[in-house]
Structure 1
Amino acid sequence: MRNTIIVTVLLFIAVVAASVYYFSDSSSRQENATKALQYLPADTYFITAFRNNETTDTIFQHFELFEAIQGKQDFDNLKTLKQDFLSSEALKAKVQDVEIILSYHPSTSGIATLYTVALNEKLNNKALEAIFQGIDKKYKQNHTDTLGHRIYSFDKGIKDSILYCTLHENILFAGYERPIIQQVIDKKVKKLDTKQIEFFIEQNSKNTPLSLYFNNHQFSAFAKKIMRPKFGVYLNQIDSLQGSTAWNLNFKDDALIFKGETKLDLNHHHYLHLFANQSPQVQTLANFLPKNTASYINYSLSNITSFHSGLNDLFVYRKEADKIKRHQKLIENEGKVVFQSDILSLWNDEFAIAELDNEAMLGLVSLADSTKFVETAKKISSNQGDDIYQFDYSNILYSSFGDPFKTFQRPYFTRIGKVLVIANQTGILRKYRQAYFDNQMMSGTAIFKNHSAIQSNRANVTFYIEPETAKNTIINNLKSEYAKDFRDKEQFGYQNFYSTSFQLSGNEGEFVSGFYALYKSKNRLGGTAEWTFQLNSKLINNPWVFNQTENSKFILVQEQDHTVHALSPSGKELWKTLFQGEILGQPIQLQDRSILLNTRSRLYRFSPDGKLLPGFSIGLENNASAGLILSTFNNEKRIYIPCSNQIAAYDLAGKKIQNWKNPTVDSKILYDLKATTIANQHYIIAATSQGSVYFFNEIGGLVNKQELNTNGQTLKNPIGLITTSDKKNSFVIVPATQGEIIKVPFEGEPIRSKVGDWGSNFTFNFEDVSGSADKDYVVLSDNNLTVYNQKDNTKYFEYKFVDEVSNRPNFFKVTNNNDLVAVGTNNRMIYIFSEDGLVRNGFPVEGLSKFYFGPIDFGNNASYLISSKRDHKLYAYKF
C-alpha cells in the first residue's frame, strides 16, 4: 500500500519550518513579505521566513531537528550562507535584521532550497560586486549574464557546494541550484498567486515566532516528487486538493506543534470537503487499534445526516450514484434489508482505516446499536467461524462512508463491543482478536500516550503515523534516492521521530488544522538517558539513593544474583558486594550514614563505602518476611523485623534485645511492622493475613488484640497508621475485601466504612499523595488507580490504565509536601503522577516495574528516573 509515505511529507514540512524558530521575528513587516513572495515560482512547495540577527547563530549550532531533516550537508550549506556571507563584514550591515525567506522548490535533482533576502538599502550590481570582493577569499568567484540579470557564483571547490546569487528588485536570491535562480527572474515563469500571498500574510500571527505556508495542491505534488508513482488510499484523499494552508508554531523541547487554518477551494468536489461543515468531536477508535499499527486515519462526525447527504452528492458528481443504487436495490431484494433505513442507521459517528506494520489494512466503524447490528448482519453476511463474518454484498461500507473503504469491497468483519473491525483476510482479523484480548493495543504504548497529550482531543479527521513501525513501508514506497536518505542515520534523522499527526476540524466550510510531531531529542525530558550501567541480570528491587558524604550521594541497586552495586550520580560503579538473599523492604540510613537492611536470612549494617560494621552481618534465627523498622525507646534505637508469624528485636550493634519476649501471632504478618508512642505508651503493631491486629509493648508483651471479621478472606495488603495524642482517636488502617476500610483504634471497637468497589486482587497503600495534612488511601484495582481522602472517602483523582497492572505502586518524595505515586504496568510502561492525578510531563516511559524517581545528588534539583529494561541495563533519565 502507498499509504504511510505521507509521514515524509509532513515531517519534512514541519521540521524545515521549525528549524527557524529562533530566527523569526514576530514583528515581521507584511509589506516586505509581500514584496519578496511575489517573485517565487507558483510550484513552490512551502515557505517560511525569519529575521537575520544574532539569534540565528545559536540555532545553526544547536537545533538538532533542523539537521535531522535537512541532512548534514544542507545544514552546513545554510550555516555557510549565514557565516560566510550574511555575517561577513562586507555584507553584514546591508542585511542586518532583514527578513530572510526560505522556500523549497521542485528541481531536476530533487528539491531545491531558495534563500530570499530583501536588502535594507538600495544597491546596484556595481555596488554589489564591490561588496562581494570582501567575501572570504576561499571562494572562487565568477558571474554570467542571463535574462538581463547577472548571476554570481561562489565556489569553494567542494562538489555540489557552488552558491548562486542574483540581485532582482533590490532582493538577493541565492541557492545551490542555478535553474531556481533563473525561474525567479524569468517573467515567463508563473509566480505565486496574489490571493495565496494575501492568505499567508493574513494568517501570519504576530504573537507566535513562526508562520508556515503552503498551497494545498503542492502538498500532493511534493508527495509525488519523493515517492513511487502509485498513490494509496491515504494520499488519494489529498490528491487534487485545492486551497491554502497557513500554520503558526507553538514550540516544545520535544515536539513540534503547528496550528492554523486550511482554506479549501469550494469550486472543487473533494472527499475532505464533507467534513468542513462538521464540528470537531472526541475520537476514540484509535483505542481499538493493535500495537503493530503503523498509521491510521480517524474520522468523526457531528451531523451524520448532512454527511450522508454530501456523500451522495459526491457520488452523483463522480457519476457513481446509479451503480451504488443498483447495489442497494440488490440488497433490498435479496436480503430484505433497506439500505437507507436499515443499514445507515447501524453506524455511529466515527470510522477509521489503519495500516499495520506488514502493510495489511484494517477498517473500524463505531456502531450505534450493537444488538440491532447483530440482527441485521444475519441477513447480509455469512459466518466464517471464530466470530468472523463476511458481507454477502459488495460496497456496503463504501456506500456508507465513501473513499476510506474503497479497498474493502466485500470484506470480512468481527465485532468488539460496539466497534466493527474490518479486513480483507480472515487471518488479519484472527490476529487482531488475539491482540485485543491479550491487551496488545497501540493505545497502551508510551509513544501513543505521549503523542495524545500534545494533539487536540477533538477533530474531524486525524492522520497518525509512527515512523519506526512504518519504517519498511516508508522505505519501500520512497523513490530510491529518498529511501537512501531515510535510512541514512549518519547524515539524517528521519527515524528519530516517535510519531506524527495531522488534524482537520470543520469550521463553517473551512478547517482549523494542526500538525504535531514528537522527536527523540537529546534535550527532551526523558528522551535520552544521561547514563547507562550494565548489570548481569535483572533488577529485583527499586534503586535507592543515600548520602555518601556531606555533599554527595550514591545509588544502591541489587540484581537477581543478589549482587549489590553502589553507583555515583554519574553512573560510575563505586563498589559492589554480594548479599545473602534479596533485600527486603526499605533500607534505612542512620545518622552516621551507615545503612541498615535485612534479607530473608541476615541483618546487615554497612558504611557508604560498602564495608560492614563490626559484628555484621548477623544471621536471623527465623527467616524474615518483610523489611525491618527502626524505633526509639528510652533514647535507644531498636530494630524490629517481622519473621512470618514472629517478631525479632535487635539493637544497633546487632545484639538481641535481652528482655524481648519474641511474641508469636496467629498467621503471617502483613508486610512491615508499625511503631509509635501514644500517651507515654510505646507500641509495636502487627497485622496478620487472618485479620488480627496486635498491639505489643516495648518488651513484646501483648497490650491489645483485635480479631477482625474478614468474611473468610485472607488479607494481602500493608496496614496504615493514624496517630494522635488520644488512643481512641488513633487508628490502625486495615484494608479489607469488597472495598471496605477497617479503622482499628488503640482503645475501643473497630469502625468499618465502605470506600469503593475493588476487585479481589486490589493493592492498598496509605501514603500522602494529595499534599494535604493527612495521608490518603491509594487503591489499584482492575487496572484503575484511585486516591481517596481518608476522612470522608471522597476521590482525589482516578486514572484508568489501558495496560494490565499487577505491580504495587511506588511512592517517591520529590517535594516537601507529598509523595508522588508511580506505577509500572505489565506492558513495561512507567507512569509518574502529580498530586492532581495528571501524568507528569515526559511520561509514560518504557521501563520495567522496579525503578526510582527523584533527585540523585546534592546541588542538582532535577529529578531522575532510574529504571531498567530487558537488556539488563540501568537507564538514568533526567526530568
Structure 2
Amino acid sequence: MKRIYITLGVLLLGMIAMAYLYFSNLNTETNANDLSLNAVASNSGIVFSFENDKSFYEILSGQELFQHILGKSKAKSFKSLKENLLSQHEVNTSIDGQKVYVGLLGGEGDQVDYLISAQFKLGNDPQKTVNSLNSQKVKVNKIGEIYQLTFTDSTSCYVGIKDVLVVISNTPKVVQHILKEQNLTDLSFANYIKSNSRFNKNTLANLYINFNKAPNLLKSILNSNLNGELSIFNKQNSFAALSYNFSKENLLFNGNTDVNDLTSYYKLFTTVPEQKIVIDNILPHKTANYTIYTINDYKSWFEALTTWFEKQKNSENVLKNITSINQKYRLDLNQIFPKYFKNQFVTFQLSSGEKFGAIALVNGEKVNQLLLDLSADYAPDIKIFKEANIAYSFFGEPFKKFERPFYTIIDNYMVLANNASSIQVFLSRYRNNELLIQDEDYASFRDQLSSSATISFYINNKNSTDIFGRNLKPPYYKQYQSKTGFKEFDAFCYQLSGDNGKFLSNLLLHTKTEKPLETDSLQTNP
C-alpha cells in the first residue's frame, strides 16, 4: 500500500511538472506571438486584422468598396504592396498563415499614416528574406536600421525588422518609433484585441477601434474641433471589436463595443435592451445626421442619470433648478416628462446645419397643457421655455445644447430647436410629408440593419455635403466628393444594443440603390 502511495505521489509530481513546463512554454510562445499585435495596437486608433493566406486575398478582391474608403493614394499603395511585396515567394512563405495587422494613425500635417505588422514563422531567417527582395519589381535601400522599398510603379514603403517582428509603413518615423519601443506601458487595447480575437477565429477579417486615439487620427482629417455632433469621438474611453461580413454592395461589421469610462453618458445605455425605432418617422427629408436613443424603463434609467449628474458634479445644480421651477410655477416637472415620456428621443441636424432635438411622448396634448405656464407663445404652434435646462435635466447630455429652446408638440412628439425659424422649417416639411422615410435610399438602408437598437448614429452622405465641406480638410473633402471615394456610399450607421454592460454593435457603410431602367411598356419588338 505504501508503494502505491509513493507511486501515485511521483506520478502527481510528474504531472504538475509537465503541466508547468507546458503552460510556461505556451505563455512564452503567446508573448512572442503578441509582438505584432502590441506594435500596431499601441500606436493605432483603427486596426484591421486577417490571416495571410490566399483565400483572404481572393475573397477581398471582389470587394472594391475598401478602395473608396482608403482613397486613391492609399489604395494604390496597398495594391502595390500586395503585388510587389507580399506576392514574392520568399516573403509569402515567411508569413504564410500568420496574423497580419493593419493600423491607421494620425500623421504629421494632413497625413493619415498606415502601419502593417506581422511576424515571421519560426525557422525563417528575416535577413535572408530581406536580401531576396532586390529584383526587377523592388529596389531596396538601407537607411540606418530600416529599409526603403521602391516599386516599379513609383510607390514606396519603409520596412523595419526586430527579431521575428516585421513592420511596414508609408513613413520612416512610424517604423523607427516601433523599433525603439521597449516596454509598452499601456497594453489595454492590445489585450482587448487578444481577448476578443478568440471569438472571431472563423471570420474573414476583424476590425478593432480604439476611441481613445480617435482625436489624434481625426485631427489629420478635420479642420475643426471635436465638438457638437463630433464630440462623441472626443475623450471616449471605449473599444470596439467587429467582424467583417463580406458583401459586394455594402461594408458591414458586427460585434461588440465596450465603454470603459464609468462617467460616460453612453454607459447609461449599456444595460438598456434594444427597442424598435420609430422616431425617425418624423425626420425631415434633408436630415444630414441623427442620434437616436431608446429607453425601455425610464424610472430605472433616470436613477442612473441622477448618478451620472453626480459624477459630472452637476447634480446639485440640476436639482436646484428643478426645485426652483416647481416652486415658481407651482407645478411638478417630475409628473410631466417622466410620466409622459414614451421610449425614445433623438437629436438631428439638417443639411443647412440647423440642429434639433425631439422627444416621443405618450400624450402630447396633456404635456402641452401642463407646460402652459412654463412656456411663452411665439407663433401659432411654436412656444419657448421661460426657464433653462429643462430637457437636459430629464434626458442629459444630448439636450445640453438646447438651453432655453423654442418647441412645438405635434403628433405626440416634442421638437426643440434654438431658433423659431428652425421649428417653422420643421413644421412645414413635416406637414408636407417631406420626410426621410420617403427616400428610397433610406428605405434600402433600413432594410440592411435591425429595426431595433438602443442607440443609433446615422449620417446621410448626400445631405451632409455642406457640413463636411466646412469640417473636412481639402484633401479629404475631395475624396469625400470623388466617385472613387465616399460618393459611392449613401449612408453610414453605427448601431448599439445594450447587453449586460456592453453593446452589441453593427457598423454599416451603405451604397446607393441602383435603380432599374424604366422600359416603355408600349414598345414592341421589331
Distance 1:189 1:302, change over 3 A: same
Deviation at 1:220, TM superposition (A): 4.2
Q: Which runs of 5+ in 2 are unaligned?
A: 1-28
The residue that corresponds to 2:13 in the other structure is none
After superposition, residues 223-372 of structure 1 pair within 5 angstroms as 223-266=218-261, 268-372=262-366
Distance in 1 separating the partners of 2:362 and 2:79:
57
Give deviations 1:639-676, integer Å, cap 9, x for gaps: xxxxxxxxxxxxxxxxxxxxxxxxxxxxxxxxxxxxxx
Q: Is the 8 A contact 1:41 1:191 kept in 2?
A: no
After superposition, residues 46-65 of structure 1 pair within 5 angstroms as 46-55=46-55, 58=58, 62-65=62-65
Moved more, 220-229 or 381-390: 220-229
Distance 1:129 1:363, change over 3 A: closer
Q: Is the 8 A contact 1:200 1:246 kept in 2?
A: no
The answer to which structure, 1 or 2, has the higher relative contact order (CA under 8 A, 6+ apart) is 2
Distance in 2 separating the partners of 1:58 and 1:528:
29
Distance in 2 separating the partners of 1:220 and 1:248:
23
Deviation at 1:475, TM superposition (A): 1.9
Distance in 2 separating the partners of 1:39 and 1:162:
21
The residue that corresponds to 2:106 in the other structure is 106
Give deviations 1:327-357, integer Å, cap 9, x for gaps: 2233112211122234432322211110000
Q: Tell me, yes or no, if structure 1 residue 494 matches structure 2 residue 471.
A: no
Deviation at 1:323, TM superposition (A): 2.2
Q: Is the 8 A contact 1:41 1:190 kept in 2?
A: no
The residue that corresponds to 2:478 in the other structure is 484
Letter in 2 for 1:481: P
Q: Is the 8 A contact 2:108 2:220 kept in 1?
A: no
Give deviations 1:719-755, integer Å, cap 9, x for gaps: xxxxxxxxxxxxxxxxxxxxxxxxxxxxxxxxxxxxx
Letter in 2 for 1:376: L
The residue that corresponds to 1:116 in the other structure is 117
Moved more, 493-502 or 480-489: 480-489
Distance 1:138 1:36, change over 3 A: closer
Give deviations 1:46-69, integer Å, cap 9, x for gaps: 112223333455467543212111
The residue that corresponds to 2:139 in the other structure is 140
Distance in 1 separating the partners of 2:126 and 2:97:
22
The residue that corresponds to 2:11 in the other structure is none
After superposition, residues 837-876 of structure 1 pair within 5 angstroms as none
After superposition, residues 17-56 of structure 1 pair within 5 angstroms as 34-40=34-40, 42-55=42-55
Distance in 2 separating the partners of 1:385 and 1:447:
35
CA root-mean-square deviation: 2.6
After superposition, residues 583-594 of structure 1 pair within 5 angstroms as none
Give deviations 1:693-724, integer Å, cap 9, x for gaps: xxxxxxxxxxxxxxxxxxxxxxxxxxxxxxxx
Q: Secondary structure at 2:373's aligned position in 1?
A: helix
Give deviations 1:100-129, integer Å, cap 9, x for gaps: 221112221521112223222434454234
The residue that corresponds to 1:131 in the other structure is 132
Letter in 2 for 1:502: Y
Deviation at 1:200, TM superposition (A): 4.1
Distance in 2 separating the partners of 1:258 and 1:61:
18
Q: Is the 8 A contact 2:212 2:238 kept in 1?
A: yes
Structure with the higher helix share, 1 or 2: 2
Q: Tell me, yes or no, if structure 1 residue 519 matches structure 2 residue 511.
A: yes
Specify the structure having the higher radius of gyration (Cα). Answer: 1
Q: Which runs of 5+ in 1 are unaligned?
A: 1-28, 521-525, 533-538, 545-555, 558-565, 567-607, 610-879
* 2:459 aligns with one of 458, 465, 473: 465
Q: Is the 8 A contact 1:41 1:184 kept in 2?
A: no
Q: Secondary structure at 1:299's aligned position in 2?
A: strand
Letter in 2 for 1:518: H
Give deviations 1:278-303, integer Å, cap 9, x for gaps: 11111111000010101101111012
Q: Is the 8 A contact 2:355 2:417 kept in 1?
A: yes
Structure with the higher strand share, 1 or 2: 1
Distance in 2 separating the partners of 1:438 and 1:343:
29
The residue that corresponds to 2:4 in the other structure is none
Q: Is the 8 A contact 1:280 1:460 kept in 2?
A: yes
Deviation at 1:497, TM superposition (A): 0.8
How does the TM-score come out when normalised to structure 2?
0.87
Deviation at 1:73, TM superposition (A): 2.3
Deviation at 1:217, TM superposition (A): 1.4
Q: Is the 8 A contact 2:480 2:486 kept in 1?
A: yes
After superposition, residues 555-594 of structure 1 pair within 5 angstroms as 556-557=522-523
Q: Is the 8 A contact 2:240 2:257 kept in 1?
A: yes
* 2:177 aligns with one of 183, 199, 213: 183
Q: Secondary structure at 2:462's aligned position in 1?
A: coil
Identity value in percent? 21
Q: Secondary structure at 1:38's aligned position in 2?
A: helix
Distance 1:124 1:194, change over 3 A: farther
Deviation at 1:183, TM superposition (A): 1.8
The residue that corresponds to 2:405 in the other structure is 411
Letter in 2 for 1:137: Q
After superposition, residues 539-558 of structure 1 pair within 5 angstroms as 543-544=520-521, 556-557=522-523
Q: Is the 8 A contact 2:41 2:103 kept in 1?
A: no
Letter in 2 for 1:392: K
Distance in 2 separating the partners of 1:48 and 1:295:
26
Give deviations 1:450-496, integer Å, cap 9, x for gaps: 1111112211111111111111101211133322332344xx41122
Distance in 2 separating the partners of 1:361 and 1:50:
40
Distance 1:258 1:61, change over 3 A: closer
Q: Is the 8 A contact 1:41 1:183 kept in 2?
A: no
Distance in 1 separating the partners of 2:172 and 2:192:
28
Q: Is the 8 A contact 2:237 2:259 kept in 1?
A: yes
Deviation at 1:191, TM superposition (A): 6.5
* 1:386 aligns with one of 356, 380, 392: 380
Distance in 2 separating the partners of 1:210 and 1:79:
18
Q: Tell me, yes or no, if structure 1 residue 88 matches structure 2 residue 83.
A: no
Q: Secondary structure at 1:308's aligned position in 2?
A: helix
Distance 1:351 1:362, change over 3 A: same
